[in-house]
Structure 1
Amino acid sequence: MSPTETGRHFWRDIRVQLPFLAWLVVLWMLLWSQFTVLAFISGLVVAVFVTRVFRLPTVELSGRINIWYAALLVVQFLFAVLRGAVAVTVQVFDFRHQPGAAIIAVPLRYADDLMMTHVAVISSLVPGSLVVEADRDRQVLYLHVIGVRSMADVERQREGVLRWERRVVRALGAPAQYRALKADLRATRAGGAGGLTRGGAR
């Protein structure tokens, strides 16, 4: 392959991987909590280096994005980060009670590799929880969480992760994942309505 063809191939790969590169840059800036020009440039250099040196199989994107749900996801994530930071601070300075911690398993319901990655990153960036292992075959995330003192707290934390999964599916999930989510929500609403009707009949 000639140098010209090599250069053309390089820039074509960059264009194809542009969404992935942008996501890596965002993660880099979040990791260092710096949103500056220097952080952007260094993140871009690292992203290009990682994608060129550590060649991974091509990530198949969903081909779907809902602008409204994506914007809502960003707002909800920023609010969750703020609320989590306040909650962790309160727990740290509450010397009367130990915050309590646990490792919980969360079986995801609509996950593929990309969806599991999205949910794992969001769950880890929200203060108070950290993904310590991901079972790719069984689609299970294992999280270390603080502020857990009872099984009710465990279920609340697990439901919180599943809520993030639903939000990501609405915003970025593949069409099949989004259809599965809508079908489950309709079934849940129908079941709730049926329960109310039966209860009223009694």
Structure 2
Amino acid sequence: MTTQTRELARAVWRQLPFFVWLVALWMLLWGQFTMLAAVTGVIVAVFVTRVFRLPAVELSGRVNLWWLFVFVAEFLVALVVGSLTVAWQVLDPRRYPGTAVIAVPMVTEDDLIMTHVAVTASLIPGSLIVDIDRDRHVLYLHVLGVRNDADLERQRAAVQHWEGRLVRAVGSRAQVAAMRAERTDAV
């Protein structure tokens, strides 16, 4: 195998998860998991990756299946709890659910991890990303159910918790070490 062939194989291998994600996203958008949806998804993914050339995103090359399972399980629980909490806040006539815009500093400097954290936080009912400061690595969220400073800190801790789970699941070893160092410094 020549050096050029090896480089091409590495480039394809690095981009394969994104290609598979585009096909899965296409199938999810159509709500069909059929062979036709998969084939058209591949065609659309090839078209999108060739026409809209984006800079290559470097993955850490590491996926910890245990922490990925923990992340998905906690996320599903958070979806249910968040939905019930927001529903209760809407239906409770005695109280107005307080709102706030909070800044949440991130430990990692990786754009992909920051994006995953932002999407996760926005998908859980009760919070929505309103801005991201890439230079300072800060997420700004609009959150519901805030009545005091303790609620603000709880919301910040929740977003930082998602960052920790994502770093453990798909972050590089350096990011995991930085996360552990930050957590021990905070204690």
CA distance in structure 2 between the partners assigned to 1:105 and 1:61 by the alignment: 26
- How many angstroms does 1:49 deviate by? 4.5
1:94 equivalent in structure 2: 92
CA distance in structure 2 between the partners assigned to 1:135 and 1:147 by the alignment: 24
Mark the runs of 5 or more structure 2 residues left unpaired by the alignment.
1-7
- How many angstroms does 1:20 deviate by? 1.6
1:37 equivalent in structure 2: 33
- How many angstroms does 1:161 deviate by? 0.3
SS in 2 for 1:134: strand
Look up the equivalent residue of 2:33 and give its one-letter code.
V
1:124 equivalent in structure 2: 122
Counterpart of 2:144 (choices 130, 143, 146) is 146
CA distance in structure 2 between the partners assigned to 1:175 and 1:123 by the alignment: 23
- How many angstroms does 1:56 deviate by? 1.1
8 A contact 2:101–2:143 mirrored in 1: yes
1:4 equivalent in structure 2: none
- How many angstroms does 1:184 deviate by? 3.5
CA distance in structure 1 between the partners assigned to 2:90 and 2:177 by the alignment: 42
Mark the runs of 5 or more structure 1 residues left unpaired by the alignment.
1-8, 192-202
Distance change in 2, residues 1:111/1:29 (3 Å): farther
Distance change in 2, residues 1:134/1:37 (3 Å): same
1:79 aligned onto 2:77:
yes
- How many angstroms does 1:181 deviate by? 2.0
- How many angstroms does 1:140 deviate by? 0.7
- How many angstroms does 1:50 deviate by? 3.8
2:4 equivalent in structure 1: none
Look up the equivalent residue of 2:19 and give its one-letter code.
L
- How many angstroms does 1:175 deviate by? 1.0
Distance change in 2, residues 1:29/1:148 (3 Å): farther
1:113 equivalent in structure 2: 111
Structure whose CA Rg is larger:
1
Scaled by the length of structure 2, what TM-score is found?
Answer: 0.81
CA distance in structure 2 between the partners assigned to 1:101 and 1:26 by the alignment: 35
Look up the equivalent residue of 2:55 and give its one-letter code.
P
Q: Which string of whole-angstrom CA distances, capped at 9 and with x for unpartnered residues, describes residues 104-132 of structure 1?
A: 11110123111101101111111111111
RMSD: 2.9
Counterpart of 2:174 (choices 176, 182, 192) is 176
